[in-house]
Chains A and B, each alone.
Chain A
Amino acid sequence: MENDPHFAGLTGQVVHDEIVAARAPWLHRMKAGETLRVVDLEGNQAVDFLLYATDDDAERYSAQDTVAAQSNIFLRTGSVLRSNEGRPMMTIVGTSVEYHDTIGGACSCESNSLRYGHHTKAQHSCVDNFLEANLRDGRGKRDIVSNVNFFMNVPVEADGALGIVDGISAPGLTVDLRAEMDVTVLVSNCPQINNPCNGFNPTPVRMIVTA
């Protein structure tokens, strides 16, 4: 562990360590106080991310409550990921990326047909990952709300132009999140191949949980 740069700066005991394959979903429960490190192993890999309160999963991550509470659309070190009840779910306690997105949402087969054309309908998508993992955990489509996109860059220009542009992440960059309550973490390791969010090449990410 001490020779693995992905553990640099982490304290506490590693209780979970997993590589999430490119294009795959991931669901994991964390206790309050545990820390999740997400490692962008090969760089420019969007990690679509939702949270549910484990005790009452109708309470979930709210991008709108999160950005309103901090009066800023970007997620940086110190940003508190808030629920639809306004409560802190996780805090970004450190990240080696300048900022992360939470306004761009998740790709879906349906929105791909608008963004790129109906020829993309058969491609895999984050919403399908979210659905698959949620369905196995007692939730469904209506539990999918606006998400976080770690390692994804969605600037808003002065004229309102908004779009997913080249990533500001690089191999080995990380984001560390401390759970402020017992949370169920839902991830889609984004399979999108039609825009720069994954460098047109989806790659694996690593999840390290410490307690």
Chain B
Amino acid sequence: MSATLADPNAARAHARAMDGTVVEAMPILPPRADDLPAGVFSDDLLWEETIAGGGYASRLIARGTRLRLIDLEGDACASLMLFNAATPTERLNIADTVKVQWNAYPSTGSLLLSDMGRVLASIEQDDAGTHDAFCGASNEASNRRHYGDGRNSGAYPNARDRLLLGAAKHGLSRRDVHPCITLFKGVRIDADGTIDPQIGPFAPGRALTLRAEMDLILVVANCPHVLDARPWSITPLRATAWAGPITTADDPLRTATPERRRAFLNTEDLYRR
């Protein structure tokens, strides 16, 4: 092999012969999906990618975009960071998210709130119900303890360092890796504070759809939950995004509570310029 690739022409031919290769975890360009919801058309598609177990992705998401995440095989674990794309010092505040909405378990109808009192995204639809606002991402030390290795360059990358790479590709750095929300792997909190992890594996195909309420930088890592006690178990995560309308004043998620109504008022005020 190395002998035949010793000249640039052969190396070029070898590289170009890979064109059109299809693997499970990859982006589809231009995006294609044959399972869009009713009323969504191919021309609306913005993003179609399957993120490997242990992988990550980051992307600009415009206001109004719907982002559907699917736990394809029942063992995805999506740790999510969200930033205001225009001013990334504004980012998801997970404490405000649970405190302002008086609820520990984000699901359908919940808002993901920024540290500036605005709505980054709404959970428009959720048929998983097992998410985690408390435990956050694994880190290099926790993966080393559990799997013997946690480096990005190894077989057991940790979620925090995946998030760091994704954030860095938008000019962000270690100080910007904020407390995250983890989707598809959940927790329940007992009265004495004990965290009961809900690790699964779950039924294949559970989906959650986010509605972007601001222009966002989204970073997602798909690594095992930090309290997953099993041997390395992580399966692919599918992301599909399509363009959609900006939330209106009579939106039922928006009018559901006074806190949510005021969060949308603050968000609209940001775009009043």
A residues in contact (CB < 8 Å) with B: 58, 62-65, 67-69, 71-74, 84-87, 99, 103-106, 108-115, 117-118, 127, 140-147, 154-158, 160-164
CB-CB under 8 A from A164, the residues of chain B are: 99
Cβ-defined contact, A84 with B160, below 8 A: yes
CA distance A71 to B190 in the complex (A): 11
CB-CB under 8 A from B266, the residues of chain A are: 110, 113-114
How many cross-chain pairs have Cβ atoms below 8 Å apart between A and B? 141
Cβ-defined contact, A110 with B117, below 8 A: yes
CB-CB nearest in chain A for B180: A64
CB-CB under 8 A from B99, the residues of chain A are: 103-105, 111, 115, 154, 162-164
Cβ-defined contact, A99 with B193, below 8 A: yes
B interface residues, tally (CB under 8 Å): 48
CB-CB under 8 A from A112, the residues of chain B are: 117
CA distance A84 to B178 in the complex (A): 9
- Among A72, A141, A158, A160, residue most surrounded by chain B Cβ atoms (within 10 Å): A160
Cβ-defined contact, A64 with B179, below 8 A: yes
CB-CB under 8 A from B139, the residues of chain A are: 65, 84-86
CB-CB nearest in chain B for A109: B117
In the complex, which of the residues B103, B116, B142, B195 contacts A72, with contact meaning CB atoms closer than 8 Å?
Answer: B195
CB-CB under 8 A from A87, the residues of chain B are: 141
Q: Could you show 28 A-B contacts with beta carbons less than 8 Å apart?
A: A62-B136, A62-B179, A63-B136, A64-B135, A64-B136, A64-B137, A67-B135, A68-B134, A68-B195, A72-B194, A74-B192, A84-B139, A86-B141, A99-B193, A108-B115, A110-B118, A110-B266, A112-B117, A115-B99, A115-B100, A140-B89, A142-B89, A145-B178, A147-B95, A156-B193, A160-B103, A160-B104, A163-B102
Mark out the residues of chain B between 185 and 227 whose CB falls within 8 Å of any chain A CB in the assembled complex.
189, 191-195, 226-227
- Among A62, A111, A164, residue most surrounded by chain B Cβ atoms (within 10 Å): A111
Cβ-defined contact, A143 with B175, below 8 A: yes
CB-CB nearest in chain A for B96: A111
B residues in contact (CB < 8 Å) with A: 89, 91, 93-96, 98-100, 102-105, 113, 115-118, 134-137, 139-142, 160, 173-180, 189, 191-195, 226-227, 258-259, 262-263, 266
CB-CB under 8 A from B227, the residues of chain A are: 68, 71
CA distance A74 to B258 in the complex (A): 29
CA distance A67 to B94 in the complex (A): 14
CB-CB nearest in chain B for A75: B193
CB-CB nearest in chain A for B107: A160
A141 to chain B, nearest CB (A): 5
Q: 10 tightest CB-CB pairs across the interface, nearest first?
A: A105-B95, A64-B136, A110-B117, A74-B193, A86-B141, A68-B135, A156-B189, A58-B174, A160-B105, A72-B193
CB-CB under 8 A from B104, the residues of chain A are: 103, 156, 160-162
- Among B116, B135, B193, residue most surrounded by chain A Cβ atoms (within 10 Å): B193
Instruction: List 9 other contacts, CB 8 Å, given A73-B195, A141-B89.
Output: A72-B192, A72-B195, A84-B160, A87-B141, A104-B95, A110-B266, A114-B113, A142-B175, A160-B103
CB-CB under 8 A from B175, the residues of chain A are: 58, 142-143
CB-CB nearest in chain A for B143: A86
CB-CB under 8 A from B189, the residues of chain A are: 73, 156
Cβ-defined contact, B191 with A114, below 8 A: no
CA distance A123 to B191 in the complex (A): 33
CB-CB nearest in chain A for B193: A74
CB-CB under 8 A from B136, the residues of chain A are: 62-65, 68
CB-CB under 8 A from B118, the residues of chain A are: 110
CA distance A87 to B139 in the complex (A): 10
Cβ-defined contact, A114 with B94, below 8 A: no
CB-CB nearest in chain A for B136: A64
CB-CB under 8 A from A160, the residues of chain B are: 103-105
Whether A146 contacts B115 in the complex (CB less than 8 A), given A68-B136, A68-B195, A162-B102, comes out as no
CA distance A67 to B194 in the complex (A): 9
Cβ-defined contact, A111 with B100, below 8 A: yes
Cβ-defined contact, A114 with B117, below 8 A: yes
CB-CB under 8 A from B96, the residues of chain A are: 105, 108, 111, 114
CA distance A163 to B89 in the complex (A): 26
In the complex, which of the residues B102, B115, B174 contacts A110, with contact meaning CB atoms closer than 8 Å?
Answer: B115
Cβ-defined contact, A73 with B193, below 8 A: yes
CA distance A143 to B263 in the complex (A): 23
